[in-house]
Every structure is written in C-alpha cells, then in structure tokens.
Chain A
Amino acid sequence: MIKVRIPTPLRPLTKNQGEVEVSGTSIAEMIDNLNTSYSGLKDRLCDDKGELRRFVNVYVNEEDIRFLKGKDTILKDGDEVSIVPAIAGG
C-alpha cells in the first residue's frame, strides 16, 4: 500500500483524514484509486484533460515528481506520497 498525505483543502473529501492508504503502481493509478475511495478527489487534483493542475505539487518519498516521471512515476509498496499546494518564497 501507498501512504498518501492529504492537504487541508482536500480533507473534507477524505472524512478529515490527513493521511490515507491506497494501492497503485503509478501516480496516475494512485489518483484513480483515490478517486474510487474518495469521490471527487481527481477533479480537484487534475484539470479537464486529466493533467495535474498547475498549483498541485506531488512528492514521492520527498522528491518532486517533476524530477521523476511525472504522473507515470512508478510507485512501490511502502512509498509515501505528499500532495502539497504551491506556496510563496522567502
């Protein structure tokens, strides 16, 4: 299973859970599976074309997936995924 950390704006969809477990062999599949368990989640993360929205950052074990293979990044059992909205500089 994959451990996914859910940001505050999405918690109303996950019954206020900050962390959920889900299966999936890639980020894309993980998002589909999340959507099965927590309906409406995919629409929030992805645009009409199914691409991740501009201000959504996804990390696998602390690494930004844009340095990996984006939505095709492979996941394995025990991986930890964080979904984080973009924030400002300092």
Chain B
Amino acid sequence: MTKMKALVCRECGKEYPTAAIHVCEMCFGPLEVKYNYAEIKQTISRKKIEAGPPSMWRYIDLLPIEGAATIGQHAGFTPMVRAKNLGAFLGLDELYIKNDTVNHPTLSFKDRVVAVALTRARELGFETVACASTGNLANSVAAHAAAAGMRCYVFIPGDLEAAKVLGNLIYKPNVVEVEGNYDDVNRLCSEIAAEHKWAFVNINIRPYYAEGSKTLAFETVEQLGWRAPDQVVVPMASGSLLTKIWKGINEMHTLGLIDRVPTKLNGAQAEGCSPISTAFQAGRDFFKPVKPKTIAKSLAIGNPADGYYALKATAECKGAMDAVSDDEVVDGIKLLAQMEGIFAETAGGVTIGVLRKLVKQGAIKKSDVTVAYITGNGLKTQEAVIDAVGRPVRIQPSLVSFQQTFKMGKNGGGDA
C-alpha cells in the first residue's frame, strides 16, 4: 500500500512527487502530503492502533514515511493529565493537560516532528540534516542526528536561553548562532538550503516534518477514550501546530475512528509577538509581520509561515485567539506548576494565560471538555521565572535551627 499519493500545493492544487521539496514552483504556495485515505481506511482501526507501540508510531498509517520508523522510535504518547486542581480553580469541569514537557528525548513536542523528518530524510538518502530554530527544534534535531549518526547543522538566533544553547552543544552538532532574530535565521536558512543539498527539516523536508504534529491530536482523541475534545488551546509560533492538530482530528473523523468533531481551536500568543491573534481579533484573514519582543522566545516568530492557515482553521470552527503579557506568561507557568506539578517553559505559560482569559470571557464554558497543549519543559527557560519564585530558606544543620525557623515546638506540631 502506498499511503502517500503525492505532494500537493495548498494554494493552487498542483501535484508533485514525494521528494525533498516544499514550495510550489507555480505560485509559491506550501506543499502538503496527500494521502490515500480510501486505502488507509480499509486497514486502520481503533484496535489496531491500541495494539501499536507506546509511542507516536502507533499512528504510522497516517504519517508520511514509506517504511518503518528508523529514527526517534520513542517519541510521543506523552501523558494526558486530568487537571482537577487547575480545572476547579478556573471553573472547568473537565480540563486536561497534554504534557509534552516529558517527550523523549529532548522534552518538547519537537521530538515528534523531528522523528518524522529524520526518518523521511534518511529514506530520501540524506546524510546531513539542518534546521532553523527558536531552540526546541534545534535541541531535538541535534539529539536525533547524534543517535542516527548523521551530520548536523543547527541555526539559532543570538539571544536564546542558556539551557537551549547548551542543549544543542552537548550533542556536538555544528551550532550556528546568527546575529538577529528567528525571522533573520529563517530567511538565511532558506537561502542556505537553496545552495546546499541538505535535509533542512523545516524547509525542504517541511511537508513531512509538519505532519508529525498531528500525533498530538491523535493521542488526544485516543487518550480521551476515542472522542474529540470541545476545546483545545494551542500555542502559536508559525501557526503550524494549530493547523496540524485540526488536520489530525479531522483525519480521525474522515477515517471513521470518531463520529463527530465538536472541537473549537483556540490559538495562544504572547503580546510581544502576536501577529496571528491580532489579525484574528481584527477579523482579518491576513497578518502583518512584527518584530518580536517577548520572553516566550520559542514562540517569537514575527513572520509566521502558517499564519494564514491558522486564521482560516480557527475561523472555520468558530474558535478564538488571544494574547497575554509577559507577566501573565510567568503567572501561567507558576499556576500550572503549583496546581498540577508540571513545570512548563514560557510557551506553556502563554497557553495557560490564554486559557484563563478565554474562560473568563466565556469563550470556553464550564462543561466544555478542554485540552491545553503544554509543548516544552520549564527547565529550558529558567531565565523567565528565576526572579519570580523566591529563594530557599537557609538554616544551620541543627534541629533547633529548623524548629526555630519554622516556629515549631519541641515535639513537632505546628505545620508552618
């Protein structure tokens, strides 16, 4: 069975072979994988998926590779956490956190897309992989390339968090820090990709790479007991994740794995970089690029490639978009940590902040089954919260010192 039929231009519909190309020659529209759904439908079933591996590869029938997964076999199938405390605090009956802070191996949802991208890159015969990244993608490409024995170049903006820089260097790829922001890195990489025949995961491998994000939707549906949620809250950088979650949920419907799609998409951005949510709130179907200025660096894409499609999908399902300030991002990180024991990076603070806003505005209702996507780990963006968490209590190594500090009696008692 060939599950991939072709690559097809999202704008003009022109079809191309399933090679390492990403742009329509005719109109510059992005290319997307076209599947043979009729054939996939004949063999796919809930039972078959449930019998698959405990990773994103249980959905291999809907991922754009020809053979088996050869790189990133353990990515995905992260916990779906019923967030009772946070739900009660916000006034939601059924809130879930899709917890990709513990994705394997580099603690962000990018392990999903990279597993697909590098498996596909190898199928296409590439020896060298590369990416333009705000941090998480670079970490994941570097780690997977090391394990796969591939040559690797990662390009990052010059102002990344220390842990994200270190999280590249440890795997010993070529780490190229570009003097500029992500949009500068992106433009440069696009030009480099034209000259060097490498697998640039988010450029010429993009049609395959981006499909990996669908697994977040597949897992959501399966982990909720084969039902689509009423509301999802998704952080937006390029807008790709949101559009792929929408695609994933709808594919499950197309294939008869669920009977209905009540889902509304909600896109979350930081105020310092909110070209998509600003356009949505103004009722526009196009965005104006911005120069990012926010602590949510993993979302700091001022010229979002999938912004147009994110706007379209959100309008289609009558969803919402909003943005939060940097202070609200920090509050969101603390709220999730202190209520659910999950330490998210800044993008997670954006998601929780916007979730809170949308509940307050009534866009998300008490009885709505709601899933918030937490896509990266807080240990990678410690700078954002370091001044907002207080200091440890310092004492002498004696019982007296401890009891005096916490104002306790000799026989315990008093839980200060």
Contact = CB atoms under 8 A, between A and B. Distances in A.
Contact of B190 (A45, A66, A87, A90): A87
Given A44-B28, A55-B29, A87 B191 contact: no
A78 interface: no
Given A55-B28, A57-B303, A66-B289, A89 B190 contact: no
A90 B289 CA distance: 17
A90 B195 contact: no
B131 interface: yes
Interface in A1-40: 5, 7-9, 12, 18
Nearest to B200: A87
B134 A86 contact: no
Contact of A89 (B22, B30, B240): B240
B241 to A, nearest CB: 8
A44 B27 contact: yes
A67 B289 CA distance: 8
Q: Is the interface of A mostly helix, strand, loop or mixed?
A: mixed
A66 B134 contact: no
B237 A89 contact: yes
A3 to B, nearest CB: 13
B183 A64 contact: yes
B132 A87 contact: yes
Contacts of B134: 89-90
Interface residues of A, number: 26
A73 interface: no
Given A9-B28, A88-B238, A88-B240, A62 B11 contact: no
B206 A88 contact: yes
B196 to A, nearest CB: 11
A69 to B, nearest CB: 14
A88 B138 CA distance: 14
Contacts of B304: 89
Interface of B: 11, 22-30, 110, 131-134, 136-138, 180, 182-184, 186-187, 189-191, 194-195, 201-203, 206, 209-210, 237-240, 286, 288-289, 291, 301, 303-306, 308
Interface of A: 5, 7-9, 12, 18, 44-45, 53-57, 59, 62, 64, 66-67, 82, 84-90
Given A7-B194, A84-B187, A88-B203, 12 more contacts: A18-B194, A18-B195, A53-B28, A84-B191, A86-B303, A87-B22, A87-B186, A87-B202, A88-B240, A88-B306, A89-B304, A90-B131
